[in-house]
């Protein structure tokens, strides 16, 4: 696993074939059983939005959705993801439009270097899937596994609340048009 599948340390091994749904596309990948989901996404599929900050579950830069729950992709073997549905940061935008959370992150200065942002976005996205009006405390709990080493967390809290408000208004509008 660390530091990735191209490392010289690695010996060639039997490949495993994995089928899963990534960002809405059914995908078939040949990789090695010891590859983590993180490096399968980055090296085998070119989805480099998901970052490796520690490869030990501590920093949250690698967080992706697996079957509707945020998990550390560095702590999961590729074959453990067989048959699952995965959403990465690349899957948040729809029809070439950024997700309201992504826009709010920019508008509230929720990042500087951006390294923690993909994982942070996924943890916040997971929160908004189950809570459309989170409190500051609930947001801090949701991102307790995501470390930001250069910006801090206040901007993230503001971004999530801004995006939540936008999504609520949108939903009300759709409900009205539905009637």
Partner 1 sequence: MEEFNYLAPESFDQAVVAKSQHAEKSRVIAGGTDLLLRMRDKVVAPSVLIDLRHTSLDKILISNGVMILGTSASLSQILENSEITQHFPALQTACREFAGPPIRNRATLGGNIVNASPAADLVPPLMAYDASIVLRASGGDRALPLAEFFTGPGQSVIAPDEILMEIQIPLLPASSAATFIKLGQRRSMAISQVNLTARLSMNNSDCVTDARIALGAVAPTPVRAHSAEDALVGEKLSEDLIRMAAKKAREEITPISDVRASLEYRLEMTEVLVRRALIATWKKQRRTKTSG
Interacting residue ranges for ligand FAD, rule: CB under 6 A: 56-58
CA 146 to chain centre: 11
CA 108 to chain centre: 19
Shortest Å, Cβ 13 to ligand FES: 23
Q: With contact defined as beta carbons under 8 Å apart, do 119 and 58 qualify?
A: no
* Side-chain half-sphere exposure of 150, counting CA atoms within 13 A: 8
Candidate list 20, 45, 61, 139; residue touching ligand FES; CB under 6 A: 61
* Side-chain half-sphere exposure of 124, counting CA atoms within 13 A: 33
Name the binder of 158 from ligand FAD, partner 1, ligand FES, none, CB < 5-8 A by kind. none
> Which of 9, 95 has the CB closer to partner 1?
9
Q: Mask: binding to partner 1, 103-142, rule CB under 8 A, as x and -?
A: --------------------x--x--------------xx
Whether the CA torsion 106, 109, 112, 116 is positive or negative: it is negative
Interaction site with partner 1 (CB under 8 A): 1-2, 11, 13-14, 16, 32-34, 36, 55-58, 60, 63, 69-72, 75-77, 79-80, 82, 123, 126, 141-147
């Amino acid at each position: 696993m660390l530091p990735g599948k191209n490392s010289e340390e690695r010996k060639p091994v039997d490949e495993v074939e994995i089928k899963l749904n990534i960002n809405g596309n059914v995908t078939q990948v040949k990789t090695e059983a010891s590859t983590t989901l993180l490096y399968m996404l980055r090296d085998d599929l070119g989805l480099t939005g998901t970052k490796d900050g520690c490869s030990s579950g501590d920093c949250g830069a690698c967080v992706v959705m697996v079957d509707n729950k945020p998990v550390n992709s560095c702590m999961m073997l590729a074959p453990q993801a067989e048959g699952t549905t995965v959403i990465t940061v690349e899957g948040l935008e729809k029809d070439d439009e950024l997700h309201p959370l992504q826009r709010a992150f920019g508008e509230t200065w929720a990042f500087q270097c951006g390294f923690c942002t993909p994982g942070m976005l996924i943890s916040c996205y997971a929160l908004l899937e189950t809570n459309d009006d989170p409190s500051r405390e609930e947001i801090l709990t949701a991102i307790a596994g995501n470390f930001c080493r250069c910006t801090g967390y206040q901007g993230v809290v503001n971004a999530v609340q801004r995006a939540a408000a936008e999504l609520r208004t949108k939903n009300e509008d759709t409900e009205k048009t539905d009637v």
